[in-house]
Structure 1
Amino acid sequence: MKYDFDTPVPRRGTDSCKWDSAAAEGVLPMWVADMDFRTAPAITEALRRRVEHGIFGYTHVPESYYEVVAGWFARRHGWRIERDWVICLPGVVPALSAIIKALTVPGDKVLIQTPVYNCFFSSIRNNGCEIVTSPLVPVGNTYVIDYDDLEAKASDPGVKLMLLCNPHNPVGRVWTRAELLRIGEICLRHDVVVVADEIHCELVFSGHSYTPFASLSEDFLHHSVTCISPSKAFNIAGLQIANIVSADAGRRARIDRAVNDNEVCDVNPFGVLATRAAYNEGAEWLDELIGYLHANYRCMRDFCREHLPDFPITELEGTYLVWMDCRRLGIPSHEMEQRLIAEARLWLNAGTMYGAEGEGFMRWNIACPRVLLMDGLNRFLGFVKTVRAGASAPQSPAGAERNGGR
């Protein structure tokens, strides 16, 4: 490989949310969705040149930025984005909040497919809207859509928007063209606008293909809003850059007004530069990254089959987030998260962050050098062995246990 994804890069002491948030010493963080890899060299070099200039005032987003974004999506994904459709802002979460604010009024309902990205819940609630869930259905080692339930929920006149996670976090699905068509047809029938969070769109493995929801038809294009960003694929979340794409002029004007009302209209100059470098010069690095992430997933899958057969993981079609079924251990997800940190020095995300359907599940972030992935898997295996050994140990007499508890 031309690029090095194997060598660990020390991140403790860099004010990293991922690495410096744990109170305990020696915790291996495999939770929040950023990667433990240096970004593409072309991005680093572009930022270095900008730093050497030495002045970091307010930035104007140049026309070349929009050209680069449109060029990337046309080349890589076959989706032609017009310049006027794009609103630039600091992140996808602020984008979701602004879109909901613009296209609903308090009391409206917003449809989501659970388990799903935790910020969907907060963005809906913070805008005074009601959450309506259409749970995904586990089938074997993957999840599918219950279209009858989705149609029933979308038919409620109070439902104004559907937040679509494509690819899906946390279950790792890359929705097929056929699946997206059925979702879109349901939403069109019931006049539900689709808001597609496609932040993980670049991270799709061999045998699967990302389809931009808005690219499927003119009707879908004009009945949807899409959120995109290079932040996940190129590990630049801290540079705070994202785009809202809306082809409907009236809807776009309302969203732009909400972006300004929420005071999230200014972007980081480094984010603009990084996006241009990523989309102009980062394709080769990204392709190697995807291959490495897929190999990490296969490594984890094989480890679990051999050593953790009671803890199946879903088939990962895209993203670097693995969904593990831990129900056989009989520990609630939130408690398991805390116990893993305290007893195994391993930080995973509790499945209940992503809705009630996540109870008993844990989410792993495997975007790290393989040596760290193996360390995490072995820590988890040790935790499981310890828990099961304790469960099978002879119990103290009831009276003695009560006395010892005083």
Structure 2
Amino acid sequence: MLYPKPLFFLILENTVLYNFDEIIDRHHTGSLKWHYTDDTIALWVADMDFRAAQPILKTIERVVHHGILGYTKPTEALYQAIINWHGSRYGLALDKQHILFSHGVIPSLALMMRIFTEAGDAVLVNDPIYMPFMNKVRDNGRRLILSPLTEAEGRYQLDLADIEAKIIEHEVKLYLLCNPHNPGGRVWTVDELEALLVICKKHDVAIVSDEIHQDLTLSGHKFMPFLRVAKGYEHKVVSITSMTKTFNVAGIKSSMIFAKDEALIKKISQQQRLSDEHDLNLFAYEVMASAYEQGGEWLAQVLTYIEANIELVCRFLEQHLPNVKVMRPEASYLIWLDCSAYGQDDQTLYDQLRDAKVELSAGIQYGDEGHLRMRLNVACPKALLIEGLNRIYLAFSDIKSLSGR
């Protein structure tokens, strides 16, 4: 029986039903993720292989059809959309003056070095961590101090004793928090955040919380913005976030900086103006507004699909590669895999998978604690994910598990 080719979305009783099974060829588009000249399956960089939400695409079409792409600024409607989204979903009370714009969370990390530290000061991050955290500390002439996360019952924990000891020993001035955590997928609890705040307040350490994966929190978990627990310490706390990961529009560079202390906001704004890095482009402002105003349905559907893909990966590995230890994420579409049973050298492990024409992110990029781990991206059509898993199986199936020796 022949079936018609599926549409990328269907409209049913005013609800758009998206088809995340659609495979869209991204080769020869300048895609970072799909840069290959062969048939390698890309399961690495944090970029979804799903078409953006219909309201976002319509917004871009409207802007183009208008025909004038001149200078622009954030509208009152945009500010209100941001305020409504974060207030209704996370109980974060924001006013217009609390919101600053930036080209991305990584430029914002670099900016925060200038806000809270001087050259040579110590900055603390956890290990493993999203690699730009470490790179930007070093690139900006600060001393990188690492506090390894501990692992218990298949999830990461903050080692609060080690964090405080490192703060005291190195006279740390700034702590960079990743919440939800990348690559481990942890959503830090209120108790954990409050305990961290106590330590940082005690030693006068500023806190910058990267919360870009907040909207991708999965079922059974609750994201807490750090600014909600930072009452009385707002002069030392900044949150940085974006809707680009949430709505798969990373190519439209945009992010936000949230701060609640008037003097701190003024200082950040002044630093941004030194290099004119406070303005976004027309498409960024328009897409951000449409995403926060009309993107909720797309997000709900994509999270359902992502959770099914996570379950698929867990079942597949349990059945076919049980010696790969899975850290099930509490947020995002990234799964942290312990592949130490199948290798002793990080480059060899990575090459084994690339030879099988499937690419994951090498865990060693995320710090020493990423040794023999890989980060797998499940935000793709199920058929691509299954093919990628089969290739992972082939890469490891001829290798005798080291744990079985």
TM-score normalised per structure 1: 0.92
Counterpart in 2 of 1:19? 34
Counterpart in 1 of 2:155? 142
CA apart distance, 1:217: 4.1
Counterpart in 1 of 2:363? 351
Counterpart in 2 of 1:397? none
Q: Secondary structure at the match of 1:113?
A: strand
Verify the 8 A CA contact 2:358 2:388 in the aligned structure 1: yes
CA apart distance, 1:386: 3.1
Matched residue count: 387
Verify the 8 A CA contact 1:213 1:220 in the aligned structure 2: no
**Aligned match of 1:106 in 114, 119, 138?**
119
1:278 aligns with 2:291: yes
Verify the 8 A CA contact 1:70 1:80 in the aligned structure 2: yes
Distance 2:69 2:351 in 1: 41
Counterpart in 2 of 1:325? 338
Listed one character per residue, the Cα deviations across residues 302-352 of structure 1 (whole Å, up to 9, x for unaligned) are 1111001010110211011110001111242233223322x1111111111
**Aligned match of 2:64 in 51, 73, 80?**
51
> CA 1:102–1:328 in 2, change beyond 3 Å: closer, same or farther?
same
Q: Secondary structure at the match of 2:50?
A: coil
> CA 1:141–1:63 in 2, change beyond 3 Å: closer, same or farther?
same
Counterpart in 1 of 2:5? none
Verify the 8 A CA contact 2:73 2:285 in the aligned structure 1: no
> CA 1:335–1:56 in 2, change beyond 3 Å: closer, same or farther?
farther
Verify the 8 A CA contact 2:317 2:324 in the aligned structure 1: yes
Q: Secondary structure at the match of 1:112?
A: strand
CA apart distance, 1:167: 0.3
Equivalent runs, 1:69-80 vs 2, <5 Å: 69-80=82-93
Equivalent runs, 1:6-45 vs 2, <5 Å: 6-20=21-35, 22=36, 24-45=37-58
> CA 1:262–1:301 in 2, change beyond 3 Å: closer, same or farther?
farther
Equivalent runs, 1:225-236 vs 2, <5 Å: 225-236=238-249
Equivalent runs, 1:240-389 vs 2, <5 Å: 240-341=253-354, 343-388=355-400
| Worse-superposed segment, 208-217 or 254-263 | 254-263
Distance 2:275 2:391 in 1: 43
Q: Which residue identity does 1:6 align to in structure 2?
A: D
Q: Which runs of 5+ in 2 are unaligned?
A: 1-15
Distance 1:206 1:378 in 2: 27
CA apart distance, 1:58: 2.7
Distance 1:157 1:250 in 2: 27
Q: Which residue identity does 1:95 align to in structure 2?
A: S
CA apart distance, 1:2: 1.8
| Worse-superposed segment, 317-326 or 246-255 | 246-255
Please provide the CA RMSD for this pair: 1.7
Q: Percent identity?
A: 37
CA apart distance, 1:252: 2.2
1:186 aligns with 2:213: no
Distance 2:234 2:279 in 1: 26
Q: Which runs of 5+ in 1 are unaligned?
A: 393-406
Distance 1:309 1:26 in 2: 27
Verify the 8 A CA contact 1:79 1:212 in the aligned structure 2: yes
Distance 1:256 1:340 in 2: 45
Distance 1:129 1:110 in 2: 7
Counterpart in 1 of 2:17? 2
Listed one character per residue, the Cα deviations across residues 24-63 of structure 1 (whole Å, up to 9, x for unaligned) are 5111111111100011111111111001122223322223
Q: Secondary structure at the match of 1:244?
A: strand
Q: Secondary structure at the match of 2:280?
A: coil
> CA 1:290–1:331 in 2, change beyond 3 Å: closer, same or farther?
same
Q: Secondary structure at the match of 1:160?
A: strand
CA apart distance, 1:263: 4.3
Distance 1:333 1:55 in 2: 50
Q: Secondary structure at the match of 1:162?
A: strand
Counterpart in 2 of 1:195? 208
Distance 1:332 1:258 in 2: 43
Distance 2:82 2:94 in 1: 8
Distance 1:385 1:157 in 2: 46
1:133 aligns with 2:155: no
Verify the 8 A CA contact 1:29 1:347 in the aligned structure 2: yes
